[in-house]
Amino acid sequence: MVDYAILLIALPLFAAFLIPLVAMVNKNWPKYIPILVTAFNSVLSINLLLYLNAHNGTPFIVKIGGFIPPFGINLFIGYLAIILLMLISFVGLMISLYTINTVKDAESRYYMLFILLLMGVTGLVITGDLFNMFVFLEITSISAYSLTAYKRDGLSLEASMKYILIGSLASVFVLIGIGVIYYSTHTLNIADISNHINTVPKYIKMFSLSMLLIGLAIEAELFPVNGWVPDVYQASPTPVTTIFSSIVVKATIYVFFRVLFTVFRADLTVMNFVMGLGVITLLIGEISALKQVNIKRMLAYSSIGQVGLIVIAISSYSSMGVAGGIYQMINHAIFKGILFLGTAYMITSVSGTGKISDLKGIAQKMPISSFIVSFSIIALLGVPPLTGFWAKMMILSSVMSSGHQIIVALILFATVVEAVYYLKFIAVIYDSSEITNSFKSTIKFNKIVPIVLFALTIILFSVVPQFLVKFQDVLLKAANELTNVSSYISIVLGS
């Protein structure tokens, strides 16, 4: 059996509690612990993938405490969870490599918060209990609050304060929603709620749906409630920003749709409403990114736009669209990993304040990183043989076939806007004039290696066709796990 899957959460937790003791022995050791933990989690999730492949890809559950599902808490692990787990542990590993000697006077506490943030996200992805999901949401957000304030200057304290106020409102709404849902179904297990949800009167269902929707939309950076995102992204240390953009948002989008699809069995009206939110998020994100001068802020708005695209894809409800959305999640995590880490690496070499104009002509001095950054931008925009193209193709075709031609046009318009500011950025870094700022060469292998590995992943996804065919199969199965409610119920509760 695969009960050891719980180690995905237990081991990071153990490591985080161990760090203070390790730091008392030697101050330099804690910075290697995140690498060990994420590497272990990567191996474990690959192991689970192999297990799943050997068992026809049927998702499995892990019972905690030995109590059978609706009475005890259970984990639910299928292809979708494993894709996200591999993404979390891979990106986490890359970022913990990058973090060594990067964050200014990083102490042991930074690594504790970092590991616990990853642990919270892991829990969000695999848990099968609604209240447990809330607890992991809180673990994720509380570690995010403290990491945002890590630099302790005015900007990061303000961003953190903003994040705390909005985040605690989000948790309150989620809690009210969970309370109402518990009152009307007398259970907290997601499968059991889904089993009972049709007996709940419609207006009570709509009330708790709207409460959970507000709360989770705040965490998932959807349109009316994402004002905190650019500030938080700009103010937090770059490795943390990368985690927010690549992983945390993906996990919260997963939770958002798990709640919509499985808990509430949302109908087409709700899904169309969510798709509308996605479209507005996409447009506002991309258009706001146009006029930004700070790189991190520009990438933050671009990230909001991509969230909109993913939400549009998944809310189309067709298996092709959901698969495309999951594919875009993976792509976006890797692209934003390269962009945030690569540009931060460039900025540390020139003495600037993080403005785009500081990087003028940087390509002459740092050809490899500039090339990789431009390459990932081109892949992100969806130039044909590269991986971004296939994801966008899947999304567009599914939206087209669901009869929303105008949304297809809007997505294409947003892509053009995206192309404008990204190509402008490439033009700046490949500018032929001399660099104005003072440049000091700092070749650090622990910074180049993650960027190169991310780029290799893009190539792997783009050009190995056999891999792609198999991958699409996995994506469709993962999409099915998200949308097929009755199989979810029968796997958790038994038939």
Partner 1 sequence: MSWVETVYNYSYFVGAFGLIMIGLYAVMVKTNLIKILIGINLIDVGVNIFLVSLGYIKGKGAPIFSNASVTPANSIDPIPQALVLTAIVIGVAVTALSLSVIIKLYQHYKTLDISKIREMRW
Partner 2 sequence: MKKIIATLILLVFTFYTYNTIKGFRFGHDFLNAKTNNKKISQKIEPAGKHYLENNKLENNASNVVTSIVVSYRGFDTLGEVTVLFLAATGLGVILTLTKKEDDDENENDSSEGEPSLIVKTASRILFPLIFIFGAYVFIHGHLTPGGGFQGGTIIASAYLMMFLSYSNFKINHSIFKSIESMSGLTFISIGLVGLIGFGIFLKLNLIPMGVFNTLFSAGLIPIVYIIVGFKVGSELTAVVDSYRENW
Distances (CA, A) of 437 to 3, 39, 195, 459: 56, 38, 63, 33
Taking the complex as a whole, the smallest distance from the CB of residue 165 to partner 1 amounts, in Å, to 6
Q: Does 153 bind partner 2 (CB under 8 A)?
A: no
Q: Does 195 bind partner 2 (CB under 8 A)?
A: yes
Q: Does 493 bind partner 2 (CB under 8 A)?
A: yes
How far is it between the farthest Cα atoms of the chain?
70
Per CB under 8 A, contacts with partner 1 among 80-139 are: 131, 135, 138
Per CB under 8 A, contacts with partner 2 among 6-25 are: 6-7, 10, 13-14, 16-21, 24
Binding partner of 196, given partner 2, partner 1, none, CB within 5-8 angstroms per partner class: partner 2
Quick note: the x/- pattern for partner 1 over 177-216, rule CB under 8 A, is: -xx--xx--x-x----------------------------
Q: Does 269 bind partner 2 (CB under 8 A)?
A: no
Segment lying near partner 2 (by CB under 8 A), choices 104-112, 317-325, 361-369, 420-428: 104-112
**Interface pick for partner 2 out of 39, 46, 63, 371 (rule CB under 8 A):** 63
Q: Does 64 bind partner 1 (CB under 8 A)?
A: no
Taking the complex as a whole, the smallest distance from the CB of residue 97 to partner 2 amounts, in Å, to 22
**Interface pick for partner 2 out of 136, 256, 422, 461 (rule CB under 8 A):** 136
The answer to whether the beta carbons of residues 372 and 451 sit under 8 Å apart is yes
Q: How far out from the chain centre does Cα 415 lie?
A: 20
Phi, then psi, of 72 in degrees rounded to 5: -110, 175
**Interface pick for partner 1 out of 192, 219, 231, 418 (rule CB under 8 A):** 231
Q: Does 431 bind partner 1 (CB under 8 A)?
A: no
| Closer residue to partner 2 (CB): 131 or 413 | 131
Binding partner of 275, given partner 2, partner 1, none, CB within 5-8 angstroms per partner class: none
Q: Does 381 bind partner 1 (CB under 8 A)?
A: no
Q: Does 158 bind partner 2 (CB under 8 A)?
A: no
Q: Does 13 bind partner 1 (CB under 8 A)?
A: no
Give residues in contact with partner 1 (CB under 8 A): 131, 135, 138, 142, 145-146, 149, 152-155, 157-158, 160-162, 164-165, 167-169, 171-172, 175-176, 178-179, 182-183, 186, 188, 227, 231
Give residues in contact with partner 2 (CB under 8 A): 1, 3-4, 6-7, 10, 13-14, 16-21, 24, 62-67, 70-73, 107, 109-110, 112-113, 116, 119, 123, 131-132, 135-136, 138-139, 142-143, 145-146, 149-150, 152, 157, 160, 180, 183, 186-189, 192, 195-196, 198-199, 201, 203-204, 207, 486, 489, 493
